[in-house]
Structures are given as C-alpha cells and as structure tokens.
Structure 1
C-alpha cells in the first residue's frame, strides 16, 4: 500500500524508488519498507482453465 510516507521511508531504507520502478521490482520495494501485501491461498481454481479443441 502506498501513502504519503512511502517515498520517504523507501529513501530512508536506502532504496532508489525510480530505479526499482524501472526494473519492475515492486515486490522487493514493498517488502523492504514493510508494506508488501501477500494474500494467502484462495482455494479456488480460477486459473486452472483447460481448453481442448477437437476437430
């Protein structure tokens, strides 16, 4: 989650927010400042889709 203190806390932790954004490294960015949201398992199969084409 991002709030008004995010950039200041990132810089205080020695992070370079612009470089991490350019590297698509949001997971490490938020983990380093303690703001990483990691949802647990949803116990659903919404990503398990198989399509078979018979022709």
Structure 2
C-alpha cells in the first residue's frame, strides 16, 4: 500500500515527498476494512495512516 501511495510523489528535500511542482494531491481511501493482520497484529493500511497522522510524513 505504501508503494502505491508514494508512486505519484517526488522527493522534495531529505525524507520529504510531495506532488510534482506546485500541484496538490488528495488521497481518497474508500475501504478501510482490511481484515488480514501481519505478525504484529496490525493492519498495514491503518498503520500507515497512523504514522502519517502522528509524524506528518510517511
């Protein structure tokens, strides 16, 4: 999922990514019901969104 979200982004500075040029990018996540859990009992889509909300980057 993370590679799909990062595909339209370009590296801005250091570890920061953003849309090309001065464009804006909006992610629309339709279905958060992903029942398969990893070995840490987390669901990856939720983990990636939590990381973004906590740290303001991927």
Answer 1 or 2: higher relative contact order, Cα 8 Å, separation at least 6: 1
Superposition TM-score tier, normalisation by shorter sequence: under 0.3
TM-score (norm 2): 0.26
- Identify, as 1 or 2, the structure richer in strand: 2
